[in-house]
Amino acid sequence: MFVDIHTHIDNQSVIKIVDGDVEKILKTVGIHPWKLDRHFDWSEAKWRNLLRLRGVDFSTSVEMTRFFAIGEVGLDKVHKETFEKQLEVFEEMIRLSESCRKPMIIHCVRAYSEIIAARKKTKAVMPWVIHGFNSSVETMRQLLRHNMYISLGEVLYRNENQAIDILKNIPPDRLFLETDVSGRNIRDVYAKAAELMNCDIDFLCRQIFENYGRLETTDTDSGR
Q: Summarize as ranges the residues that interact with Zn ion (CB under 5 A).
A: 180
* Shortest distance (Å) from residue 14 CB to Zn ion: 10
Residue 74, CB-side half-sphere exposure with 13 Å CA sphere:
24
Complex with Zn ion: residue 76 or 180, whichever CB lies closer: 180
> How many other C-beta atoms lie within 10 A of the C-beta of residue 154?
17
The CB-of-129 to Zn ion minimum distance in angstroms stands at: 12
Task: Quote the least distance from Cβ 20 to Zn ion, whole Å.
Answer: 25
Tell me the one-letter amino acid at 139.
Answer: T
Given the complex with Zn ion, which of 73 and 170 has the nearer CB atom? 73
Q: Which CB atom, from 6 or from 102, has the smaller least distance to Zn ion?
A: 6
Tell me how far, at minimum, the Cβ of 161 lies from Zn ion, in Å: 24
In this chain, which residue has its C-beta nearest to Zn ion?
Answer: 180
Largest CA distance in the chain: 50
15 vs 197 by CB, closer to Zn ion: 15
DSSP line for 46-90: HHHHHHHHTT--TTSHHHHTT--EEEEEEEETTSGGGHHHHHHHH
CB neighbours (10 Å) of residue 189?
23
